[in-house]
Amino acid sequence: MGHTKDPPSVHSSVRPIWKKTTGIVQRFEKLISTSTGQDAVLGLVEYSSFTLYHLLCLRGFQRTLHRKALGRFHSPDPAFLLAISALVSDARYTLRLFGLARLVNLGLKVIQNPPRDLWIHVLASLQIFMLVLYQTLENVSYLAGKGVISKVFLQRFADIKKWYLWSARFLLGNMIVELLKVWRNCRSCEAIGTNGLNSGLTTKMSENLKNGSANNKEREDRNRDWWKGLVVNSIWMPLCVHWSVDGGIGIPPNLVGALCFLAGVWPLHDRWQETRVI
Distances (CA, A) of 17 to 11, 22, 31, 108, 278: 10, 8, 21, 46, 20
Whether 140 and 149 have beta carbons less than 8 Å apart is answered as yes
Integer Cα distance of 243 and 265 in angstroms = 21
Whether 36 and 263 have beta carbons less than 8 Å apart is answered as no
Integer Cα distance of 162 and 144 in angstroms = 13
Residues of the chain with pLDDT under 70: 1-12, 59-76, 188-215, 277-278
pLDDT at 89: 94
pLDDT tens-digit series, residues 163-202 = 899 999 999 999 999 989 888 877 766 554 444 434 444 4
Distances (CA, A) of 145 to 24, 90, 97, 160, 170: 38, 11, 14, 8, 20
pLDDT at 154: 81
Integer Cα distance of 169 and 163 in angstroms = 10
pLDDT tens-digit series, residues 104-141 = 888 899 888 888 888 888 999 999 999 999 999 999 99
Distances (CA, A) of 169 to 35, 108, 207, 237, 242: 23, 24, 39, 11, 10
Whether 236 and 177 have beta carbons less than 8 Å apart is answered as no
pLDDT at 194: 44
**Cα angle: 233, vertex 209, 105; to 5 degrees:** 50
pLDDT at 208: 52
Integer Cα distance of 226 and 185 in angstroms = 8
